[in-house]
Amino acid sequence: MAEFRNYLSYSDEQEVEHYVDAFNENNIKYNISKSTASVDVTFTGNNPTQFWLQILDTDFNRANHLIEELNKNNAIEQDHYLNDFTDNELIEIIHKYDEWSKLDFQLARDLLQKRGQSYTDAQISEIKKKRLAQLEQPEKVKRGWILFGYITAFLGGFIAVVIGFSIYGAKKVMPDGRKVYTYDEISRWHAKVILGFGTVFLIIGVLYKVFLR
């Protein structure tokens, strides 16, 4: 079932107006939400707000293509910070497109083309495919956290349940909208065992306090 997921973040609603207009014209459903960053106002003097443009995960690819077409019409300004990037730095933006805004990606591609390093659509597609495969690779939980999970499981259970559930069920959203598990199978297996032991000892602890004290 399709779900709304965070697609673009921005600090000013005006920054995303032209994307919203394009989504309306192309029947791409969206939501706009905002979240306040957890920053200590004692030192900053304000509490910054981050806006999110959310779309259905099934529309990610269509939205990506639409925004790429929109950004092709944006000419880079003379004082834009990307003008100071080296060729290698611009190439890194191309290969790690998910870490940059969609506009920065297109501008980096345009700058490289002006410098004699053009990328065809087929090459960009292949780069994105390889990047997706790289991002899909699951992470391995550090051995210390696994050990800590087992210890807490036998000491009462509640913390172990939190650790086990957090590791076992953790997922990350790919740039194309798909969700994949964050951690590898071995880590998730340990998390499942920790979750099981933690649940058992948590129940035992609760029963002990209720009936034996």
Residue spans per domain, the chain: 1-57, 74-136, 143-211
Helix (H/G/I), strand (E/B), else coil: 199: helix
Global pTM value: 0.67
Instruction: Fill in the amino acid letter for 5.
Output: R
147 class by beta-carbon count within 10 Å (0-12 exposed, 13-18 middle, 19+ buried): exposed
* Contacting residues for 13 by C-beta, under 8 A, at least 6 apart: 32, 51
Over residues 147-180, the pLDDT tens digits come to: 999 999 988 788 999 999 999 999 998 888 888 9
- pLDDT greater at residue 44 or residue 193: 193
pLDDT at 157: 80
Cα distances from 101 to residues 14, 54, 87, 167, 175, in angstroms, run 16, 15, 18, 29, 12
Q: Which is more confidently placed, 48 or 4?
A: 4
Q: Which residues contact 87 (CB under 8 A, 6 or more apart)?
A: 112, 115, 117
Beta bridge partners of 9: 52
Beta bridge partners of 51: 10, 34
Residue 44, pLDDT score:
38
What is the signed CA dihedral for 173, 175, 178, 183, rounded to 10 degrees?
-40
Check whether 38 has a pLDDT greater than 50: no
> In this structure, are residues 48 and 11 in contact, taking their beta carbons and an 8 Å threshold?
yes
Percent pLDDT > 70 in the chain is 87
**Contact between 189 and 141 (Cβ < 8 Å):** no
- 117 Cβ contact list (under 8 Å, min separation 6): 87, 91
Name the average pLDDT for the chain. 85
Residue 31 β-bridge partners: 54
**11 compared with 179, residue with greater pLDDT:** 179
- Maximum Cα interatomic distance, the chain, rounded to a whole number of Å: 79
Give the mean pLDDT of 108-131: 92
Classified as helix, coil or strand, 48 is: coil
CB 177 within 8 A of CB 61: yes
